A = this chain, B = another copy of it.
């Protein structure tokens, strides 16, 4: 493990449904808990007003002014082209200029992906950066990659997602030889669509601990550590899951409010429900790292509480101190070299 020099994380303080309150509080918590420096990027006066609420060390948190904010519902490409002085863009420039080691934002995901690609660029050898998210299962977490940065992928892209996801699992989650599964519709190599059949072959040729196809039914069963799919599928899996948690909660509440006894039962077990809901809430788990860009970028859920922002800052710090980008670039270049030799 590489020891950390002083790590500095930029936070897009205007991003998210509860900005700047939650990003600022998350930053204050992180700077205290992890002893790292933070740069808050956003509307100076609003950030100063927020920061005043806390007795944080003045030298630990710096503010860099940005006069524009990209809204959550704004068209990503339009925002990137038109808003030259957005908090997200200025924060990304800090990464590019090596004035910060990582960037955390709960803002517009599409805009963040586009800005990172344009301003910071991809690592050498990486075809497409991907978003990785942690999904909970009974025994811990799996990484789902990609969850939305890329649609219409080729086999090489998914092969690289697998390599990057494995490094994340190994270095940050400390899983030895992380098991990699390809999301498909049957376990056998011949099951799936044209893309997955090609990816299956491509994954066998990597150094990843590829265990084969997995099915939808395995996603929450914890049978693999890294679940690989294109961003179209990954996004749908993620959002269907969110939709289902909400529907299940409402249905359960409906059922539990039918009689006096069930109401009493619910009252007695309310805390259990709270813990349970937290376990399922993606926004708690420190965000989705964008792997494959030449810098560290962690995207948080728009409705992230301060604690989630704090966790994402911790993940960014871990990525920086482990020099994860270096490892990704090295392994990706190795895999490309290997493929070249085998041709």
Contact = CB atoms under 8 A, between A and B. Distances in A.
Interface of A: 136-138, 148, 151-152, 183-185, 192-194, 215-221, 231-233, 235-248, 250-252, 254-256, 258-259, 261-262, 264-273, 275-276, 279-280
Contacts of A148: 185
Copies in the complex: 2
Given A255-B276, A256-B272, A266-B265, A216 B237 contact: yes
9 contacts: A137-B247, A138-B254, A151-B185, A152-B193, A215-B236, A216-B240, A217-B242, A244-B244, A251-B279
Given A215-B239, A272-B252, A247 B265 contact: no
Contact of A243 (B221, B239, B271, B276): B221
B248 A194 contact: no
Nearest to A279: B251
A138 B247 contact: yes
Contacts of A251: 138, 276, 279-280
A265 B258 contact: no
Given A272-B255, A279-B251, A216 B242 contact: yes
Given A264-B268, A268-B265, A240 B237 contact: yes
Contacts of A265: 264-270, 272
Nearest to A75: B188
A264 B262 CA distance: 11
Nearest to A151: B193
A267 B268 CA distance: 10
A133 to B, nearest CB: 13
**Closest 6 pairs between A and B when the two form their complex, measured CB to CB:** A216-B239, A265-B269, A265-B268, A220-B247, A255-B272, A151-B193
Contacts of A255: 269, 272-273, 275-276, 279
Contacts of A192: 151, 232
Contact of A238 (B194, B216, B262, B275): B216
Contacts of A233: 232-233, 236
A192 B215 CA distance: 22
B269 A261 contact: yes
Contact of A248 (B218, B219, B259, B280): B280
Given A220-B246, A265-B270, A266-B269, 19 more contacts: A151-B185, A151-B192, A151-B193, A185-B239, A193-B232, A215-B235, A216-B243, A217-B240, A220-B243, A221-B247, A237-B237, A244-B244, A244-B245, A248-B280, A252-B272, A255-B272, A259-B272, A262-B269, A265-B266
A148 B236 CA distance: 16
Given A151-B193, A216-B237, A248-B248, A268 B262 contact: yes
